Structure 1
Amino acid sequence: MLIRFQGNDSILDSRPFTDDEVQFNLLHLVRESESPYLFTNKNRSIIIGQSALKYPAWIWTENNITDDDIKELKDDFTELYKDVDILTFVAKPDIAILLAEHYSKVKHKNYSISLQMESFQCPSVIEAKQVNGRLRQATIKDSIIISEFLSGFVYDCFGKETTSEEQLETAKMYIASKNLYIWECDSKIISMANIAHNSKRNVRINEVYTIPDMRGKGFGAKIVSELCKIILSEHKTPVLYTDLRNPASNKAYKNVGFTECGKVTQISFNFESDGI
């Protein structure tokens, strides 16, 4: 049986969860949402967290979870989401497939692996090669170029074409947060990186993008390494996720000092047609 808990519960600040908190860092964002859905079991060997149904649920399981707790999780997960018309969730790869297969069989719905990610942390920075330019916060004057960067980022990551005009309000939102940084060289913006979330022990970086004609020259590594230095100076650990379909970026982050902390798999269900 699932037990609901509040975002300030110590379970998210205690072992064994903290052993995996880089891998499941998004649960710290979920816990801070206005009315999060947070569940565990009597053994506290699982956590299900979701800020809203339209966003993915994150499902953590301890590494030595028992077969009985896995069986209970499959049944409880299916019961929890029995009446939904949208469902995406993220879990450790083996658990993700177990839950997907069970839910698919019970609900007769098809599913797909929509994303596979590796989690990384940077305990110390490996000095990036020297490149010209400087790091600075993005300002409202950068809105147009940032909107172009976001359009490129969306295409690179998701294969979705958007215009810079469509990304303009998002660009302004990122800039207003004062967490978006750029690498500027000779008055030209080359790269961007965003501090997405600041939790008790970790700071998550995302939206790392370098203009195509300047890639492979060290600018992406430089902006990330400089951000990591700032984060480490605040006695927190930089973390990020990478898409496993992009091995080049995975290698680039390792060169900066990031180390792998575990893979997660995102499953998406199709509710428009019944499974076979």
Structure 2
Amino acid sequence: MFEKVDPQYLLEGVDGFIQEEVSYNLFYLITGFEEALTIKSCDSKVLFAQSPRGNPWLWVNRDLPEEERENALKLLIEYLDETPLTGVSSEPRTAEMFANLYGARYHTSIKRRMDMEAYACPQVVKPEGVSGCLRSAQLGDVETVAQYLAGFSEDGYGIVVDPASQMEAAEIMVCKGGLYMWLVDDRPVSMAQIAHRSPRHGRINAVFTPRNERRKGYAGAVVSGLCSILLGEGLVPMLYADMVNPASNRAYQKIGFIQSGQISDIRFE
């Protein structure tokens, strides 16, 4: 029922995927890796994709009846028998079902779960009355970016890290391009990144504003600036937002982002 396929062909001829491609946008990133593990059912109603060091993503055609869905996931888990999994990311119902089936077979439990809302921004609404300007990140920003990454780790995942440990990652992000800072009086106060471009969308992530600069509209300003760049390229901006943070969700909606599906990111232990 399942077969491994070349990553570049995983999404070809899959009915129903494009209608959900905003929430499942990470499939486009994963299939860009030659070494990715990509599997599909023979009827193309189930897709599985895992990058070498990432959490696997799972898509199931939403029209598949519940009983058939459960049976398909059981067969997929059997097919993956020699492949240890760190977790799964999918829409909540599918993620939960897969996690329970996998846990029953291998005696694993859910270690951590993040529920995310996927958003798309077909038309950006630029915030009014926000001071500052947008600038692409430069090497001189590496230390600031490292501090922001440490703050992101603590706020988003509850993991406290030394900013010095983030210097290498910060330099890589800056040198790669796509990272932007919002400046007020030539001083960075917020950042966001265009992380990846797929055929119809541009994904934004790494949105962070330090605590002492929040509630001033800076995050909305930097994200709306990136939206304008992507829309100018003919791409629709999209991003994922943690559902436990209503303030950021409201901020994204305020500048034109529309709810486009939910994803549960589950990790096993």
TM-score tier by shorter-chain length is over 0.9
Q: CA deviation at 1:14?
A: 5.3
Count of aligned pairs = 269
| Paired residues of 1:127 and 1:225 also in contact (CA < 8 A) | yes
Aligned to 1:128, the other structure's residue is in SS state coil
Partner of residue 238, structure 2: 239
- Tell me the alpha carbon deviations over residues 29-69 of structure 1, each in whole angstroms, 9 at most, x when there is no partner: 110012111111122111101112x4111001111013454
Gaps of 5+ in 1: 271-276
Q: CA deviation at 1:150?
A: 1.1
Aligned to 1:97, the other structure's residue is in SS state helix
Runs of 4+ in 1 over 6 A off after TM superposition: none
Comparing 149-158 with 84-93, greater Cα deviation is found at 84-93
Letter in 2 for 1:229: S
- Tell me the alpha carbon deviations over residues 163-195 of structure 1, each in whole angstroms, 9 at most, x when there is no partner: 121111111000001110001111211110011
Partner of residue 96, structure 2: 97
Going from structure 1 to structure 2, the CA distance change for 1:12 and 1:90 (only over 3 Å counts) comes to farther
CA distance in 1, matches of 2:194, 2:31: 18
CA distance in 2, matches of 1:19, 1:264: 15
1:196 pairs with 2:195: yes
CA distance in 2, matches of 1:125, 1:86: 38
Going from structure 1 to structure 2, the CA distance change for 1:232 and 1:32 (only over 3 Å counts) comes to same
Partner of residue 273, structure 1: none
| Paired residues of 2:49 and 2:58 also in contact (CA < 8 A) | yes
CA distance in 2, matches of 1:165, 1:112: 28
Partner of residue 133, structure 1: 132
Aligned to 1:104, the other structure's residue is in SS state helix
Letter in 1 for 2:203: R
Q: CA deviation at 1:73?
A: 2.1
Letter in 1 for 2:259: E
- Tell me the alpha carbon deviations over residues 78-98 of structure 1, each in whole angstroms, 9 at most, x when there is no partner: 213434454211111111111
1:26 pairs with 2:21: no
| Paired residues of 1:183 and 1:192 also in contact (CA < 8 A) | yes
| Paired residues of 1:12 and 1:18 also in contact (CA < 8 A) | no
| Paired residues of 1:113 and 1:265 also in contact (CA < 8 A) | no
- Tell me the alpha carbon deviations over residues 181-221 of structure 1, each in whole angstroms, 9 at most, x when there is no partner: 00111121111001111111111000001121111111110
| Paired residues of 1:55 and 1:88 also in contact (CA < 8 A) | no
- Tell me the alpha carbon deviations over residues 219-256 of structure 1, each in whole angstroms, 9 at most, x when there is no partner: 11011011101100100010100111111101100001
1:120 pairs with 2:83: no
Q: How is 1:147-166 mapped onto 2 (pairs within 5 angstroms)?
A: 147-166=146-165
Partner of residue 44, structure 1: 44
CA distance in 2, matches of 1:60, 1:10: 11
